Amino acid sequence: MALNKRLADQMQRGLKQYAPILRAQRDRDVSEADTVTIVKDILSDVLGYDKYAELTGEHAIRGTYCDLAVQFDEKVQLLIEVKAIGAHLQERHVKQAIDYASNLGVDWVALTNGVEWVLYRVLFRKPIDKEEILRLNLLEVNPRNTKDLETLYLLTRKGLTKDALTEFHRRQDAMNRYLLAAVLLHSDTVLNTIRREVRRATEVFVSPSDIANVLRDQVLKRETLEGEQAESAERQVNRRAVRRIPKAHKADVTEQSCADGAGGAEAA
């Protein structure tokens, strides 16, 4: 992640500057309008956006308004829904912003009360949906912790410009539980690798289908195997598997034939 020293220093200074301000405003339970002002200052001083050229308040979309829009390169890049600093953020708060984003074709929506920030990716389906990408609390971010700064970097102007959010989302997708479960159950290469390791460990020949059944019934959580996300992951693995299987398949067929032969010899 391209977190250079200049940007890291800016975020560190900004976090130290705004931490006492956020605490004081939260204690005062200031209004939503006052919270919008704080959020604009944070976007500018901590996250690197041009307050006057790139941040638009009360952005009109089909007769309604979104609290803030981040716009540069002649395009709205991010919509931000702001709630009062004392408000507890809830999913229903972001529904209107997701509707705004779908009308504009914007991929990213943030929900914040100044302290807590939740970032969503808009899923252009029917109906329009959303996916939470990250959640952070500015009062819990450690300015001296590189990992914390790298997470915060995703919300910066540079992070948005460098498409860091898209890359972060892709990495999340690659490590999600539904995909990993699908890889274990539906990749012939993986099942044959497990079969070989079981044989080495136990000197017992088992079939890939038997391994898949045990994984499905006794190892993996049911929630990773059912529903739309599980089905989508299975389709993704099956599509990719077509390109990978041939070489491994040939070797596995040979090995399976040997195993069958050994089993036949034992039976004889």
CA dist 58 and 220 (Å) reads 47
In whole angstroms, give the CA distance from residue 116 to residue 47: 15
Q: Rounded distance, CA 268 to CA 259, Å?
A: 14
Residue 101 CA: distances (Å) to CA of 40, 43, 70, 97, 211: 19, 19, 12, 6, 45
Residue-level pLDDT at 113:
96
Each domain of the chain, given as residue ranges in start order, spans 5-162, 177-267
**5-162 classified as CATH 3.40.50:** no
- Whole-model pTM: value is 0.66
* Residue-level pLDDT at 84: 95
Element (H, E) at 6: helix 5-28
Residues with pLDDT less than 70, the chain: 1-2, 58-65, 164-179, 229, 233, 240-268
In this predicted structure, what is the pLDDT of residue 263? 44
Check: CB of residue 81 under 8 Å from CB of residue 91. Answer: no
Distance CA 121, CA 142 (A): 25
The confidence score (pLDDT) of residue 251 equals: 43
| Nearest CA among 105, 104, 84 for reference residue 93 | 84
